[in-house]
Amino acid sequence: MNRRCLSLLLGLFLAASTLTPRGGAQQGIQFEMPQDGPKKQVAKNVPTVPAALEVFNGQSAKISSLADGDTVKLKVTLQSPTDLACVAYFKFADDDRKESRIGSCIIAAGAQSCETKLAPALGWYWGKDGKGLTEREVRAR
């Protein structure tokens, strides 16, 4: 039995000594990031373009007033076709919070307008301070 233990210990010792790296041996694979990586492009400011904003009801008829909860869609029309596709975001003029967007749509390259999907105007009556408003100004950006 002692011989078996001695032989087992000797085998473990030999296995451990062959797996242990020696001086000058490779310590594993090392990765280095390339120094000439891709360069990020700086965003360009786009000039403001005159546009018209319209509100439509569920039957695609232009409306000038609505009740809180009516279904509406918003449409923005640029003065001229855009060279690049762009996203139009709609929000209330009196609410400057980023998360307060009330809709968005994509104006395709070469197009002049886009409109949102039909959605309920729930909560449009209420201002950000919780008070009811008789008028709201919607802006497109």
At 95, is the pLDDT very low, low, confident or very high (cuts 50, 70, 90)? Answer: confident
If you ran DSSP here, which 8-state letter would residue 134 be given?
S
- Alpha-carbon span 141 to 130, nearest angstrom: 24
Task: Quote the pLDDT of residue 93.
Answer: 86
Task: Quote the pLDDT of residue 68.
Answer: 85
Q: Which two tokens stand for residue 69?
A: 């909860």
Task: Quote the pLDDT of residue 24.
Answer: 56
pLDDT at 8 over 80: no
Length of the chain: 141
- Alpha-carbon span 90 to 11, nearest angstrom: 75
pTM over 0.85, yes/no: no
Task: Quote the pLDDT of residue 96.
Answer: 75
3-class state of residue 86 by DSSP? strand
DSSP E strands in the chain: the ranges are 51-57, 71-78, 86-92, 103-107, 113-115, 119-120, 138-140
pLDDT at 46 over 80: no
